[in-house]
Structure 1
Amino acid sequence: MLPPNISSLSNLVAFYIGGNALTGTLPSSLFSIPSLLYVTLEGNQLNGTLDFGNVSSSSKLMQLLLGNNNFVGSIPRSISKLVNLDTLDLSHLNTQGLALDLSILWNLKSLVELDISDLNTTTTFDLNAILSSFKSLKSLNLSGNHVTYEKRSSVPDPPLLSDLYLSGCGITTEFPGFIRTQHNMWRLDISNNKIKGQVPGWLWELSTLQYLDLSNNTFVSFESPEKLLQPSSLFYFSGANNNFTGGIPSFICELHSLIILDLSSNRFNGSFPRCVGKFSSSVLEALNLRDNCLSGRLPKIISRGLKSLDIGHNKLVGKLPRSLIANSFLEVLNVESNRFNDTFPSWLSSLPELQVLVLRSNAFHGPVHQTRFSKLRIIDISHNRFNGTLPSDFFVNWTAMHSIGDQSNGNYMSTAYYFDSMVLMNKGVEMELVRILYIYTALDFSENEFEGVIPSSIGLLKELLVLNLSGNAFTGHIPSSVGNLSSLESLDLSRNKLTGEIPQELGNLSYLAYMNFSHNQLVGLVPGGTQFRTQPCSSFKDNPGLYGPSLNQACVDIHGKTSQPSELSKEEEEDGQEEVISWIAAAIGFIPGIAFGFTMGYIVVSYKPEWFINRFGRTKRRRISPTRR
């Protein structure tokens, strides 16, 4: 919390406390300090309304950074007195849907950086008006607000911007033409709009452009540049989630400074761009071409500096190029949902940094030989034709999943300005990991043809959050070592040929929120624990030998309320005994003494009328399972 008597620091020039977890309100007395030049409070949890008090028009304040807090309400009109401001950040001010009068900012003629993004206002910002009012602007961020731009009423002599952020502004026009004059532009983000038509060829002539994000619009094509300046300074380019068609433009491969290239979720077709091999000696670290219509084979050489390669959801065929073994920095390899026909690429284990391997939904086949993946944290080889058995020590060398790490570090797999993402089956549904945590661990071998026993060494993978072995032909018992997976949240062993009991140790897995043991041949007592009692009955379906309080509670709709089975059964048995005795007594009157002794023994041991079986037989058979004798 900020001290309320902060104005007593009468000679204060700079007040920097950004990026902490400070709470409370902002004391207006702060702005009465005549010597104050710089205030940096962004990235805290300060709340309340903004109040600058009786700020003087002679204020010397040059920098005011209040963004990314929890302030509510409107922008104080007194801000117009801060005429010496060159940097202003009011981002994420929650105006609670109020209309804003931006004219109160027009007095701030010295502004060089202005960030008024995500204000939660109904006001529509006129981009032309803003550009006309601030001739000294270098950086402008209007993201997350509604912005209009009139191409016909272009701004004469607009400011020369270095950074322009218009993400999520509802812009529906074609590409903003005034950008063509921005020869000092470094970063341009016009993502998450509805900008249509072509990406103009002149865009690639902006020699200073380093960061370009065109993602999530409705662009349909690239206009070929008349000239492509060399060397290009562009290091980040995303055209993801548009309507681009045809082949990937050849000029893309001339952008030799690219670190990040993301053209995912379009309709690009044709072969994988061979020119990507030209990046082999460059700095390209992340290449994302997933969810397109690319066909043919992968080139033998793909940029050797890659940390992330995602080509999932295309129509690529053939084998994985063995040359990938030269990509010693590769951390993420995702080739899911293609038509690759190959054996398990055990040679990838020689990649020292590989942490994510996704081969899902291809035509990979054959056995999966034991190998060493020392840093692997996520592996998905589901929906292929892998077969054979897994030796008991199969997971011994998968050491990155062995120990419980510090789950509070919040680190992400990423490279500059880019975060890897993927879709993973978790808790029975597809879950998108928009940012892959270093600590996130998952193993999915489902929908293959594996057989034999589940390796006992799986219990070494103590970091596992998701384990899916469903849809195979695994036999034998569930290894009790699964009980060592103390972080496990999702377990799916359904549709196998597993026998024996569910290990009681699984009842101690306190994070296990989802489990599926259905369609096996399991028997015995279902483990206790809240997590087992809260599962749907379908999690245990087609295992007729399972029983116990947990199953009774999970399947209460089918089996009836049996949480107190002893009392209910006693009542039924007593009623049944009375009726049987009455039936026997009636027979006694017609049978001689000696014959009665023999006949009664026969009746009691061997004969049960149909009504008796219907009423008591099923309950008794369930209660006298051979495993409980």
Structure 2
Amino acid sequence: MRIFTKLSAPLCLLFVFLCLKTAFSSSIHASSFSTTHLCSHEEALALLQFKTSFSINYTVLYADNCVDFFYTKPNYSKIESWKEGIDCCSWDGVSCDNVTGHVIALNLSCSFLYGTFPSNSTLFFLRNLQSLNLALNDFRLSKIPSEISQFTRLKHLDVSFSRFSGQVPREIAHLIKLVSLNLSNYYDSSDLILETTTFKNLVHNLSEVRELVLSGVNMTSVNPRFFMNLSSSLTTLELFETMLRGNFPNSIFCFPNLKNFYLNGKRDLTIDLPSSNWSSPLQWLYLGGVDCGRRLPESIGDLKSLQSLSLGCNLEGSIPASIGNLSQLIRLSLFSNNFNGQIPTTLGNLTLLTSLDLSNNQFSGPIPASIGNLSQLTYLILSYNNLNGQIPSSLANLTQLPYLFLSYNLLNGTLPPWIFTLPFLEQLYLNHNQFQGQINQFQQNPLTLLDLSNNELQGSIPNSIANLVNLSYLNLSSNHFSDLIVPDMFSMLQNLEILDLSHNNLIGKIPNCLPKSLSVLNLQANYFDGNIPFGFPEGCGLRNLNLHGNQMDGLLPRSLVNCRMLEVLDVGNNNISDTFPHWLESLPELQVLVLRSNKFHGFVHSTKEGPSFPKLRVLDLSSNYFVGALPLRYIENFNAMMDPHRDGGSPEYMMVSTIANSYQCSLVVTWKGFDYELQGILTIFSTIHLSNNKFEGEIPDVIGKLSSLKGLNLSHNNLTGHIPSSLGNLTNLEWLDLSSNELTGKIPDELVSLTQLSVLNLSNNHLVGHIPQGSQFNTFGNGSYEGNLGLCGIPLSKSCDGIGTPPSSFQEKD
């Protein structure tokens, strides 16, 4: 679900804001110059030659952040208007002095320039330039040319987010007239490096600088103490993800003109919040990820000009009551700290607040009734705390509120009826609390997202839910709802994309007329019976269908082939009686197929040429009545199980993302003999579970190519032959169960290479010879081998007659 995370979402929003602010302020700089005189022929020629250095690419990195003041993305490059024979002072992005005609401002931000920035660029002929903005282009990891020092009159320089790399040239410190400098780089990159000497010279020479923006620049070698020498005229300092380490001087808070200060990093960067003498003009303060001491001082209430305060830096204790003195505050975010105690009632004094985020703390006690005074709120986020009691009725006064997040608390009582009548409410998260009773009525309002999951709600799901015609996300899972008053009421919700009613006590038939807009339908762990509806239409958009743990019977509907985007199909633990649905093998996106614990029967084989199940990585056919050989044709084509690094980057959880919402997929797996419901499925998670069937024949060697497998369970079948040594190639394997078969021969020594293996069960077969030693095999007990009378060696009490040789009566015959 698209809610604020602990850090990434606010940073993303702030990034967009900074891009908007940069583009808007730059346009002000450029437009402040009149263009009544013709520019010189030499300068026009220099600009035209500069134009030829680049191509125009509208898909350059972060191009989507090129939005104007009206939140529209430009569809042209400014340099397209640059044509010979037309006064260059009238070209887009070019401004000239109204007396001399010299080019004095150049704003090429978001011009989609693509190419290497030449060190001998003709741009450096513009010696009268006072403002240069090259933000949000793609210069393909070029270095910032040292020739930039030739702009001796430059006051404003912005090269942010344009993929410059390497060392910031020391010559940049020669631009002593700079008033604003923006070198921001991508936050996930360290390509642009600002080393100590260059930074010291910058601090020393820029005596007039007011805005210094260095976010995303690698400043690992810079000692933060040098910041104390910055010009006293400084108004804005932005330092997101700079890799600074050490103690940042808190004298920064005493700068007489400082209005905006943003500092983000890791715990190895510290800054102590002062107990007094704050910079009185401070308007925006953001500290995230750094260590800023243990407590928020009472003196925070002295910042009477503060409009936005965001602190996410592991603060403890209570929020001082003086915070209620910040009468100009519009945004307050204290998420992801360790604040405890009660939320101060003085927050009710901040009547200009539009956004309040106190999530991810340890607040206890009730929600203060005084929050109902904040009638301008558009965001109220109190999730992930220990708040208890009922929702105060005063919150009914928040008539402007679109977003209310109260999830993961200990709130109780019945749901107040007024909460569904707030006229602008769009997203309501009340999940993971202790709300009880029934829902009597849903009123018509703009709700697009409603999450009441993991509470103690009961009774019927009222048919008035059909009033929520804008709803795209509905999660009522893990409650005690017993039935649907009118099953087809969901057909009225034509915008519904995600519907989760799992883990309730719902009975009856699955509604036949589900919205065509559905991407996720999760009815797991209820008491639905009868046939699965057969009416999956052409163009069906379902991506996750979970009917696990009901009482469904009949056949698996063939119309599922119309759901070409289906990624997860789980009909396990039902009474479905059918043959193997080989017709599903053509679904190009299917990744998870669970048919376990039903009455499926017959052979498992492919009926088509070419790749089958090309993206499948979880297959569970256990506890059915399948017969014949293991599905060799399928195993040979399980390409998604053959490369553990196929997705690249860090493992992520499998999500179904729509335009408006995201949903994390879950899965029931058997591990160590017990069933577990994984609340998230990692994209690197691969398992095959074929136990409790009547498969026969040998285990194919090709199974050893499925190198990303985490689990393999072939137990309780009639498999014969040897354990293939190729299983030793499954180096990501964490559990292996081949028990209760008819396997013969030795345990391959190659299995010792399975260093991730934590569960091994080879019991109740006809294996012989010594048990391999070393690595994980030294951790397995007798239970892994019982019922194999021909095995010997540790951990069994039976020793072998010589190295690797079983007693003669159990030696394998040729």
Q: TM-score by structure 2 length?
A: 0.63
Q: Could you say what secondary structure the match of 1:450 adopts?
A: strand
Q: Could you say what secondary structure the match of 2:458 adopts?
A: strand
In the alignment, the residues of structure 1 paired with residue 595 and residue 641 of structure 2 have an alpha-carbon distance, to the nearest angstrom, of 19
Q: CA deviation at 1:480?
A: 0.9
Give the one of 371, 375, 378 matched to 1:130: 371
In the alignment, the residues of structure 1 paired with residue 722 and residue 256 of structure 2 have an alpha-carbon distance, to the nearest angstrom, of 76
Equivalent position of 2:187 in the other structure: none
Check 1:453–1:150 CA distance in 2 against 1; reply closer, same or farther (3 A cut). closer
> Where in structure 2 are the equivalents of 1:54-203 lying within 5 Å?
54-55=299-300, 57=302, 59-67=304-312, 69-95=313-339, 99-100=341-342, 102-126=344-368, 128-131=369-372, 133-143=373-383, 144-149=385-390, 157-203=397-443
Verify the 8 A CA contact 2:396 2:422 in the aligned structure 1: no
In the alignment, the residues of structure 1 paired with residue 710 and residue 402 of structure 2 have an alpha-carbon distance, to the nearest angstrom, of 44
Amino acid at match of 1:256: Q
In the alignment, the residues of structure 2 paired with residue 164 and residue 302 of structure 1 have an alpha-carbon distance, to the nearest angstrom, of 35
Equivalent position of 1:252 in the other structure: 490
Check 1:401–1:497 CA distance in 2 against 1; reply closer, same or farther (3 A cut). same
Q: Could you say what secondary structure the match of 2:414 adopts?
A: coil
Verify the 8 A CA contact 2:720 2:743 in the aligned structure 1: yes
In the alignment, the residues of structure 2 paired with residue 99 and residue 56 of structure 1 have an alpha-carbon distance, to the nearest angstrom, of 19
Please give the per-residue CA displacement for 1:149-177, whole angstroms capped at 9, x wherever unaligned.
377x6667444321112223333322213
- 1:446 correspondence with 2:691: yes
- 1:220 correspondence with 2:459: yes
Please give the per-residue CA displacement for 1:245-267, whole angstroms capped at 9, x wherever unaligned.
22464322211111111011112
Verify the 8 A CA contact 2:406 2:431 in the aligned structure 1: yes
Give the one of 598, 602, 605 matched to 1:369: 605
Please give the per-residue CA displacement for 1:274-312, whole angstroms capped at 9, x wherever unaligned.
011xx33x2x21110111111111222236101100011
Verify the 8 A CA contact 2:707 2:729 in the aligned structure 1: yes
Amino acid at match of 2:589: E
Amino acid at match of 1:450: F
Give the one of 557, 564, 581 matched to 1:321: 557
Equivalent position of 1:36 in the other structure: 282
Instruction: Point out where structure 1 has 5 or more consecutive residues left out of the alignment.
Output: 570-619
Please give the per-residue CA displacement for 1:31-90, whole angstroms capped at 9, x wherever unaligned.
933443323334x263631335744635322222224x4322222344333222111122
Q: Could you say what secondary structure the match of 1:200 adopts?
A: coil
Equivalent position of 2:151 in the other structure: none
Equivalent position of 1:234 in the other structure: 471
- 1:483 correspondence with 2:728: yes
Q: Which structure would you say has the larger RCO, counting Cα contacts within 8 Å and 6 or more residues apart?
A: 1
In the alignment, the residues of structure 2 paired with residue 249 and residue 268 of structure 1 have an alpha-carbon distance, to the nearest angstrom, of 11
In the alignment, the residues of structure 2 paired with residue 331 and residue 31 of structure 1 have an alpha-carbon distance, to the nearest angstrom, of 58
Q: Could you say what secondary structure the match of 1:275 adopts?
A: coil
CA-based RMSD of the aligned residues comes to 2.9
Q: Could you say what secondary structure the match of 2:560 adopts?
A: helix
Verify the 8 A CA contact 1:346 1:369 in the aligned structure 2: yes
Amino acid at match of 2:380: L
Equivalent position of 1:595 in the other structure: none
Verify the 8 A CA contact 2:272 2:293 in the aligned structure 1: no
Verify the 8 A CA contact 1:57 1:83 in the aligned structure 2: no
Verify the 8 A CA contact 1:336 1:359 in the aligned structure 2: yes
Check 1:402–1:150 CA distance in 2 against 1; reply closer, same or farther (3 A cut). closer
- 1:274 correspondence with 2:533: no
Equivalent position of 1:534 in the other structure: 779
Amino acid at match of 1:129: S
In the alignment, the residues of structure 2 paired with residue 297 and residue 238 of structure 1 have an alpha-carbon distance, to the nearest angstrom, of 24
Equivalent position of 1:594 in the other structure: none
Q: Which moved more, 1:537-546 or 1:420-429?
A: 420-429
Verify the 8 A CA contact 1:198 1:223 in the aligned structure 2: no
Verify the 8 A CA contact 2:477 2:504 in the aligned structure 1: yes
In the alignment, the residues of structure 2 paired with residue 374 and residue 503 of structure 1 have an alpha-carbon distance, to the nearest angstrom, of 30
In the alignment, the residues of structure 1 paired with residue 809 and residue 279 of structure 2 have an alpha-carbon distance, to the nearest angstrom, of 85
Verify the 8 A CA contact 2:273 2:292 in the aligned structure 1: no
Q: TM-score by structure 1 length?
A: 0.81
Q: CA deviation at 1:621?
A: 8.1
Verify the 8 A CA contact 2:259 2:281 in the aligned structure 1: yes
Amino acid at match of 2:521: L
Q: Which moved more, 1:28-37 or 1:285-294?
A: 28-37
Check 1:359–1:627 CA distance in 2 against 1; reply closer, same or farther (3 A cut). closer
Amino acid at match of 1:311: L
In the alignment, the residues of structure 2 paired with residue 628 and residue 341 of structure 1 have an alpha-carbon distance, to the nearest angstrom, of 43
* Rg larger in structure: 1
- 1:409 correspondence with 2:650: yes
Q: Could you say what secondary structure the match of 1:79 adopts?
A: helix
Please give the per-residue CA displacement for 1:497-541, whole angstroms capped at 9, x wherever unaligned.
000011110011111111100000001121122311211210000
Q: Could you say what secondary structure the match of 1:353 adopts?
A: coil
Q: CA deviation at 1:10?
A: 5.7
Check 1:338–1:65 CA distance in 2 against 1; reply closer, same or farther (3 A cut). same
Equivalent position of 2:680 in the other structure: 435
Equivalent position of 1:474 in the other structure: 719
In the alignment, the residues of structure 2 paired with residue 12 and residue 330 of structure 1 have an alpha-carbon distance, to the nearest angstrom, of 54
Equivalent position of 2:50 in the other structure: none
Equivalent position of 1:513 in the other structure: 758
Instruction: Point out where structure 2 has 5 or more consecutive residues left out of the alignment.
Output: 1-244
